[in-house]
Chain A
Amino acid sequence: MKKLINMLMFCVALLYTSSFAQNADYKNEPGYIDFGDLSSMESGDNVTEVTLDEKLLKLAAGFQKKGHQEFNNLLSGLKLVKVNSFAVSPKNEERVYNKMKSLDQELTRNNWSRIVKTREHGSNANVYIKTNGNNNVVGLVVTTVSPKGEASFINIVGNIDLETISSLSENFNIPSLDSVGHNRKRH
């Protein structure tokens, strides 16, 4: 009986670890950031959440074989693209700004470099990058918020080429990501 219980416990432990192994791949990457539960902040309108892990990105790269080598190279180096965007209303405005502020503190504390910071008529946009020892960009975070507009939280993990990252937005129709290239050009 004891043997049976031990075996059962072993099976449960195995199932537990294997079920989390799939998600853990990108969570251990230095460029990964956990935004926490953003759904509690959503005001129930214009909510878009997109999560593409390495496998899905490779699949997506498959259809770009002809003539889009640059974009294909960009995708093959990525491990995760995560986009959260939602409407900002007076109900959630304060919490969204606070979230942006706490993320800013967390990122700078963890050696992320803020490469873009804009403040315009209450609208805020920040772009951060994380580099490895060879000065390659391995993580990108974009946070944007505009009052009575939209808030976006974007995390891209993997080997990132900042020059071509905005093509993700064009090719995948991912909302808000085009702001990365746009903001970069302005600064």
Chain B
Amino acid sequence: MKTLRISGIILLLLAVSFLSAGCFDVNSNFRNVRNHLLKAAGSKYEKDQEFALGSVSMAVVKQVVKSSHDDKQNIELIKNISGLQLGIYKKKNDVGKAETDVPDAESFNEICRMMEKGGYIKMVRSINKNEVSAVFLKLNKQQNLTKMLVISVNQNELVLIDIAGNLDRLFETALRDKGLGKLAIKY
């Protein structure tokens, strides 16, 4: 009975801390970018996955990764991430895949401009017939990389990733593994 009560309290505390840290639900900035992208893509995508991990959830993830004896480099990378927002939106079933549904260049450039107005630095922007993608960064006053936002839209899915934390190492790794030309496209 005592164990049950303790478990209940822990669960309650976890739930409160998750909610108070803004976990699971993406923030208004993320929603704003998502809405613009979905609109520019002709509203032909629907939510497949969308979640946010705040500092508390990330602490849990870090513990799980640590105990899983994962690659040291991966542990180091995750250690420096304080927040993650991810949205994956799949093409609606009733929409034919032959159509070109990715946002057109003009709409996509408009979204890029909106991001830059919001203080992001546009590092990579790539537009092709069937795929558009971009990588945006934010630096703090000490010139450390603190935010990275990746947009990738193709004929099958629309992916939006927002990562916060001390991202210098993550950036180095991404650059080393992908190179700049592929960075945006292959995310």
Interface residues of A (CB under 8 A from B): 19, 22, 39, 42, 44-53, 55-56, 59-60, 62-63, 86, 171-175
Residue of chain B at shortest CB distance from A18: B141
Render B108-146 as a binary contact track against A, CB cut-off 8 A, 1 for contact: 010000000001011111111100000001010001010
Check B125 against A49 for contact (C-beta < 8 Å).
yes
Check A172 against B181 for contact (C-beta < 8 Å).
yes
Interface residues of B (CB under 8 A from A): 104-105, 109, 119, 121-129, 137, 139, 143, 145, 168, 171-173, 175-176, 178-182
Taking the nearest CB of chain A, how far is it from the CB of B149, in angstroms? 15
Residue among B168, B171, B181, B182 with most chain A CB within 10 A: B181
Chain A residues whose CB sits within 8 angstroms of the CB of B172 once the complex forms: 59-60, 62-63
Please count the residue pairs between chain A and chain B whose beta carbons lie under 8 angstroms apart in the complex.
74
Given contacts A45-B128, A59-B168, A172-B181, contact A53 B121 (CB under 8 A): yes
Enumerate the 7 nearest inter-chain pairs by beta-carbon distance, A residue then B residue, closest first.
A173-B179, A47-B127, A44-B105, A173-B181, A49-B125, A172-B180, A63-B172
10 example contacts (A-B, Cβ-Cβ < 8 A) are as follows A39-B109, A45-B129, A47-B126, A48-B124, A55-B143, A59-B145, A62-B168, A171-B179, A172-B175, A172-B179
Check A51 against B127 for contact (C-beta < 8 Å).
no
Check B126 against A48 for contact (C-beta < 8 Å).
yes
Bound together, the chains give a CA A175 to CA B124 distance in angstroms of 12
Check B126 against A63 for contact (C-beta < 8 Å).
no
Check B137 against A56 for contact (C-beta < 8 Å).
yes
Bound together, the chains give a CA A86 to CA B127 distance in angstroms of 9
Chain B residues whose CB sits within 8 angstroms of the CB of A173 once the complex forms: 178-182
Check B124 against A50 for contact (C-beta < 8 Å).
yes
Check A48 against B181 for contact (C-beta < 8 Å).
yes
Tell which of B109, B119, B143, B181 touches A50, judged by Cβ atoms closer than 8 Å.
B181
Check A45 against B127 for contact (C-beta < 8 Å).
yes
Check B128 against A47 for contact (C-beta < 8 Å).
yes
Residue of chain A at shortest CB distance from B182: A173
Bound together, the chains give a CA A59 to CA B121 distance in angstroms of 15
Chain A residues whose CB sits within 8 angstroms of the CB of B168 once the complex forms: 59, 62
Check A60 against B175 for contact (C-beta < 8 Å).
yes
Chain B residues whose CB sits within 8 angstroms of the CB of A19 once the complex forms: 119
12 other A-B residue contacts (CB within 8 Å) besides A45-B127, A173-B181: A42-B127, A46-B127, A48-B181, A49-B122, A50-B123, A50-B124, A56-B137, A59-B145, A60-B175, A63-B176, A86-B127, A173-B178
